[in-house]
Homo-oligomer: A and B are copies of this chain.
Amino acid sequence: MAAKRSGARSKRSPRIGEQQQPVQEPRNEPPLSRERIVATAVELLDAQGLDGLTMRRLADRLGSGVMSLYWHVDNKEDVFDLALDSVLEYRGPPQPIESQAWREKVFHMLEDWRASMLRHPWSASLLPRRALGPNILSRLELLSKILSSAGVADAGLNVAIWSLWNYVMGATITRASFDVSDDDRNAAQQRLTRLSERYPTIERSRLLLDNDWDGAFREGLGLLLDGLSPR
């Protein structure tokens, strides 16, 4: 899937074939570009997680030298910002929702937001540390418009938006962080049952085992929207 550098490969297999065919770059790569860098960064993040993204590895995948990246991109932080925002584009509901049904519109956008982030779990732990890119701002703008035209007064608009944002971010980040490797999950599970007598109520309600995340997300969001609805 990823382009391999021929140099690395030939070093790995010390075959005795007398002339190492130079194996001109396996595919002639398209030229480097911001878009290609970001797309590849997302691939790499999906495959290796947050710590897996390295300027050197990124360049490797792109079949270029490390320093070539710096022509198109400021630095590693920049790559993170771009990758994050690129993953959060919103295309709207499949077919338009009738205009009065503001509740459904909000639900669709926020569920899509959560789903996008869960498709790229690194994005959840990245968001808290990064700037708001254009795609994030667009979603906030849309949310503002929906709520505003649904009759939420200007005075309550910010509280409403931030409450929804907080809820979605918290839910998504939590969900993503529970979605770890099996090793970690086993370790956590072990520690919990070992300590179960210290946390009896949690234990009884199976708080940490209950994994109907999607259902809980929708229910909680419903409650919140009830509270926020213009009276």
Contact = CB atoms under 8 A, between A and B. Distances in A.
A157 B220 CA distance: 11
A94 interface: no
A144 B198 CA distance: 13
Contact of A169 (B162, B170, B192): B170
A47 interface: no
A84 to B, nearest CB: 12
Given A154-B205, A167-B166, A141 B199 contact: yes
B205 A163 contact: no
Contact of A166 (B187, B204, B220): B220
A193 interface: no
A138 to B, nearest CB: 7
A54 interface: no
Contacts of A159: 216, 219-220, 223
Contacts of A205: 144, 154, 157-158, 161
Nearest to A221: B163
A124 interface: yes
A8 to B, nearest CB: 28
By Cβ-Cβ distance, the 4 closest A-B pairs, closest first, are: A166-B170, A170-B170, A223-B227, A163-B220
